[in-house]
Amino acid sequence: MKKNFLGTAFALLAATLFMLGTVFSCDNTFGVFQSIQTEKKQTGTDVFLNASVKSVAEDGSNFYAAMAKIYFRPKTGTGWNVLSVANNTNYFCNGIAGDGTSTVYAAISSNTDNSLLGIYKSTDGGSSWTTVTSTSLSGLAIDGMWLVNGALFVAAHGSPAENNYKLYYDDGSGFALAGAGLGGLTSGVLSVAFDGTSYWAATSSALYKGLAGSMAEEASAGSPKADTKTIGGICADTAAGKVFVTTADGLLYAYQTGSWTHATVKTDLKLGPIAMPGNPSTDYLIIAKSDAYDGYSEFTPSTSTYTEGKDGILVNATASLYASTVYGKPVNGFYGSKDGKSFFIALSAQGSSTYGLYRTDYDSGTSKWSGWTAE
């Protein structure tokens, strides 16, 4: 009986080891089974634990992270604290935008009835604020803000929201529609970019291009609109006068000198927000994706080279890599610092026991990024 029992036990153990070896030798897209065991555990600020960070901004003094409230930390410091906006810390953050050098804007609403309290501007690191809200925004809910090439854009919607999304810009005397067709949009604005000559705005179904105040729909031949694509994100290479647009079926569109081209990033992969870190070159993009794994991928336009986030240049083998930081979490957005030395990823981390904000830093001496560090 003992021999039979031992023989059966060894047989079961061998079968179990065989199955485990089979599982761990499978081609896992993100290598999570292997890499998550070797990656350095991250410890960040509690305010970002299991949190969702909507966006990141900066001025000359601080970095800012938008959640239900705005948190800030000095660029030379490490501690994040709630930002007081116009002597108020009991608010809901609708959006934040900065120019990276001297100015930051914050849109806040009431915690009780969601009414807009105001859009405020600070030029001293948030110590004092002035109001920039105009009556044209009365009764609207603010969805987001972008400070692009010195122009402040505000996305908003009325009630009901259906066919009632809008994009405004600050014309110096108040907020006006960014274009005649931007007052009754079917969906909200995803982002705003500047290509060196024209401003661009993207919704999930359309693109708009032109000077602030006269932006018009861009639907020329070869555009995402002409090809009836669902848009995921937009960014621009200002120096090259080039615009990049992602789609929900894995394509990357590029616009330059009046014409469109497109390439396949990955077939049928839903793509979202997009950014160009800029270092060590401008010939690669960071693209958020929406699938069972979420996270991001990297893409080199000149060679149409697709790289999984875990294998990309923003990570570093001596620091936390991908599986323990970004894996399995939706990406809300990216932010590259004005000096090109820091790059942030804003995530939805609820229920993950990890963080909603990570940063990687660029070393110009080695031409490498440091790897993701929890804020």
pLDDT at 44 over 80: no
Q: In this model, does residue 36 exceed pLDDT 80?
A: no
Burial 127-156 (b: 16+ CB within 10 A, else e): eebeebbbeebeebbbbbbbbbeebbbbbb
For residue 116, list its beta bridge partners.
Answer: 109
pLDDT > 70 in the chain, percent: 89
HSE of 352, CA atoms in CB hemisphere, 13 A: 23
Q: What is the pLDDT of residues 166-175, one digit of tens each?
A: 999 999 999 9
- H/E stretch holding 361 reads strand 357-363
Q: With bands split at pLDDT 50, 70 and 90, how would you rate the model's confidence at 39?
A: low
Distance CA 372, CA 48 (A): 14
Q: Which residue has the higher pLDDT, 327 or 223?
A: 223
Q: Please, what is the average pLDDT of the chain?
A: 88
Radius of gyration of the chain (CA): 23
Query: What single DSSP character describes residue 16?
Result: H
Q: Contact at 8 Å (CB) between 208 and 218?
A: yes
Strands of 231-237's sheet, edge to edge?
231-237, 242-247, 251-256, 259-264
Edge-first strand order for the sheet with 81-82 is 55-58, 62-66, 70-74, 81-82
User: What percentage of the chain exceeds 90 in pLDDT?
Assistant: 73
Closest CA to 144 of 86, 184, 105: 105
- Are β-strands 357-363 and 373-374 bridged in parallel, bridged antiparallel, or unpaired? antiparallel
Write down the pTM of the prediction.
0.88
Could you give the CA distance from residue 25 to residue 19 in angstroms, rounded to a whole number? 10
Question: Residue 23's pLDDT is what?
Answer: 33
